[in-house]
Amino acid sequence: MFFRKKKPPGPLKRPEESPPPPWALDPEGLLQSRPGKRIAALTGGIASGKSTALALFEAFGAKVVDFDLLAREALSPFTPTWERTLEIFGEKARLKNNELDRPYLAKKIFGDQKLRLALEAVVHPFTWRRMLEELRGGDPPPLTIVDVPLLFEADLQSLFSPVILCHASPARQLQRLLFRSPGLSRGRALKILRSQLPPGEKLRRADLILNNDGSLRDLIFQTRDLHRRLAAPTDPADRPPPSGDPEKKPPHA
């Protein structure tokens, strides 16, 4: 079963948030859920298992929109965003095949807020427009999941409801990060984890939580149950959880 945050008496109110950036517009109301068509955001820190959760939602029948894939599209060779990125970082960022050297970019922006913000100012507006295009087309299934890795960091959470957090404890994140990146030192991995919004703050801001401290089997069961509830014709937030459904935060919050 998935973990839901307890609701206080009366209407559920999120903590006060910064307004979304000026490029994050939804003039057509494409992000607004309506009967039979629900839009939810999925986010999570590095090595939290968010990509696995997204793949599971898709396997269970949800439409998925992946910000990471759209960001890669934004930086495809000879696009305007690619050209602007080269203007910022110089020719050292270009590989022989004209692809951008992503490890080089990651190294340059890590710890340099000005460069990071400059790159985000190029990539994020393009990604946002492409996301709206993805949501505009076709006849989507009852549930659409928009995967936004830096949802809270980019102040986009007020535009989505509900916001689902794939959560893992810092110790588990570190373990997974070192396992999947053998060349990464422990010190460097810790710096990467500490550069992101603290897990406790993400837990505070999220509406629904997938606890991914356990096994893949656990995550499969949680994601399947959450998909079933969110894809249901009625709003699951309006119904009490069934008997035995734990209402508690994940451990190590």
Look at residue 234 in the predicted model and tell me its pLDDT. 62
More confident residue, 173 or 5: 173
Of the CA atoms within 13 Å of residue 84, those in its CB half-sphere come to 15
Look at residue 246 in the predicted model and tell me its pLDDT. 35
- pLDDT tens for each residue of 199-220: 999 999 999 999 999 999 999 9
Look at residue 28 in the predicted model and tell me its pLDDT. 93
Q: Are 35 and 234 in contact (CB under 8 A)?
A: no
Burial class (CB in 10 A: 0-12, 13-18, 19+), 165: buried
pLDDT band at 235 (very low <50, low <70, confident <90, very high): low
Look at residue 251 in the predicted model and tell me its pLDDT. 44
Boundaries of every domain in the chain: 1-6+32-62+143-253, 69-140
Token pair for residue 121?
Answer: 């100012």
Look at residue 240 in the predicted model and tell me its pLDDT. 37
- pLDDT tens for each residue of 36-86: 899 999 999 999 999 999 999 999 999 999 999 999 999 999 999 999 999
- pLDDT tens for each residue of 138-181: 788 999 999 999 999 999 999 999 999 999 999 999 999 999 98
100 has a pLDDT exceeding 70: yes
Q: Are 155 and 19 in contact (CB under 8 A)?
A: yes
**CATH, range 1-6+32-62+143-253:** 3.40.50.300
More confident residue, 181 or 1: 181
- pLDDT tens for each residue of 187-198: 988 988 888 899
| Average pLDDT over every residue of 14-29 | 83
Question: 59 — phi, psi (to 5°)?
Answer: -65, -30
Strands 3-4 and 63-66: unpaired
